[in-house]
């Protein structure tokens, strides 16, 4: 079976509490975008799950979330296969804050569920995804959604109005544990206006969403990487973005545009300095739903 795995962006990311177990409760407005990996998933005679990819450095075993997802699904729901070959054509930048690994895992879950004799309903499949990774439940659901807790408490939201979304990933990476380690929730100075974003979504007000976006991690990255992130945001805004923010735990930055020409100008300008720049659009929940059986 061939299936697309969609990248996500965080229209907002707020850290609301530090839990007893050391993890943090989050409050995030998430959006699926039209940048995808493509997965080919086939049963094979050998026992075991193997992942192959156009990026040779990606793990081939269960430290790859796609393999972990297959194993979690088989353990909990069964499946009439002994072995699985998952081939991933990766286009979503790795370790970018765009949820590429979680998207691949969610695509595997959806694919195996579609082939199952008794498929789980989407909300149960999403909850199974929490055993694979924090962003996986949202990636199973897709579209525009509020994600709370570690990311497993999901509420569907009205879709983001049509727009162009420019994504830019600078060359450096940011470690998630390091970022959470630097986060002191008593010292958060700026937060996204999540309530305002929800209201703007209900009103179909793109500008209202864009002007209220923020990611609390932006204020924690104080070295050269923080400066670079702010530079990309400024570049997007100077090309006419209605708003710009970092996605997830970074370092990717995105801008929302109501003017497609402005978005194209931003892509051209950013490409002078960065290799990974993408022009995308929002994707609705029902567009992410299914894979297709290969003709062969
Ligand atoms: O989810 P992941 O394993 O990538 O998280 C890496 C680390 O980030 C965790 O071990 C934890 O220290 C921190 N984290 C957190 N709160 C979250 C997610 C991650 O504190 N909601």
**CA-to-CA dists, residue 202 to 19, 78, 133, 148, 150, angstroms:** 31, 40, 29, 19, 24
Closest residue CA from atom 14 of ligand 1 = 23
Residue 293: per-residue pLDDT: 56
Residue 295: per-residue pLDDT: 45
The number of the ligand 1 atom at minimal distance from the alpha carbon of 26 is: 21
Distance (Å, rounded) from C-alpha 149 to C-alpha 146?
10
Distance (Å, rounded) from C-alpha 160 to C-alpha 10?
12
Closest residue CA from atom 1 of ligand 1 = 134
Choose among 217, 200, 190, 216: nearest CA to 256: 200
Q: What tokens appear for 246 in the block?
A: 């970092």
* Active-site residue, 8 included: yes
Residue 91: per-residue pLDDT: 98
Tell me how far apart the 2 most distant CA atoms of the chain are, in Å: 57
Calculate how far, in angstroms, residue 176's C-alpha sits from the geometric centre of ligand 1. Answer: 6
In 3-state terms, what secondary structure has residue 217? helix
Residue 289: per-residue pLDDT: 66
Residue 78: per-residue pLDDT: 86
* Active-site residue, 207 included: no
The number of the ligand 1 atom at minimal distance from the alpha carbon of 183 is: 20
Supply angle C-alpha 197, 252, 225, rounded to 5. Answer: 115
Choose among 229, 226, 248, 233: nearest CA to 95: 248
Q: What tokens appear for 83 in the block?
A: 């072995």
CB count within 10 Å of CB 47 equals 9
Per-residue pLDDT of the chain in tens (296 residues, 90 and over written 9): 999 999 999 999 999 999 999 999 999 999 999 999 999 999 998 879 999 999 989 988 888 999 999 999 999 998 888 899 999 999 999 999 999 999 999 999 999 999 999 999 999 999 999 999 999 999 999 999 999 999 999 999 999 999 999 999 999 999 999 999 999 999 999 999 999 999 999 999 999 999 999 999 999 999 999 999 999 999 999 999 999 999 999 999 999 999 999 999 999 999 999 999 999 999 999 888 656 655 44
List 36's β-bridge partners, or say none. 6
């Amino acid at each position: 079976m061939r299936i697309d795995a969609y990248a996500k962006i965080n229209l907002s990311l707020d850290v609301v509490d530090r839990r007893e177990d050391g993890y943090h409760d989050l409050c995030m407005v998430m959006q699926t975008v039209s940048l995808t990996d493509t997965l080919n998933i086939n049963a094979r005679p050998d026992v075991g799950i193997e992942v192959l990819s156009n990026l040779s450095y990606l793990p081939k075993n269960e430290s790859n979330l796609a393999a972990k997802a297959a194993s979690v699904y088989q353990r909990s729901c069964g499946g009439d296969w002994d072995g699985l070959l998952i081939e991933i054509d990766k286009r979503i930048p790795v370790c970018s804050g765009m949820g590429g690994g979680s998207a691949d895992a969610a695509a595997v879950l959806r694919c195996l569920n579609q082939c199952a004799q008794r498929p789980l309903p989407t909300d149960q499949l999403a909850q199974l995804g929490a055993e694979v990774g924090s962003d996986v439940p949202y990636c199973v659901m897709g579209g525009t959604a509020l994600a709370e807790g570690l990311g497993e408490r999901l509420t569907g939201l009205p879709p983001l109005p049509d727009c162009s979304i420019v994504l830019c990933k600078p060359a450096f990476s940011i470690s998630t544990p390091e970022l959470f380690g630097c986060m002191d929730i008593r010292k958060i100075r700026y937060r996204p206006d999540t309530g305002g974003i929800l209201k703007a979504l209900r009103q179909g007000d793109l500008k209202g969403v864009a002007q209220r976006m923020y990611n609390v991690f932006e204020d924690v990255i104080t070295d050269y990487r923080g400066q670079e992130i702010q530079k990309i945001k400024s570049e997007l805004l100077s090309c006419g973005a209605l708003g710009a923010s970092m996605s997830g735990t970074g370092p990717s930055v995105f801008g929302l545009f109501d003017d497609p020409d402005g978005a194209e100008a931003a892509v051209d300008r950013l490409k002078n300095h960065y290799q990974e720049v993408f022009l995308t659009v929002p994707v609705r929940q029902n567009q992410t739903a299914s894979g297709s059986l290969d003709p062969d």
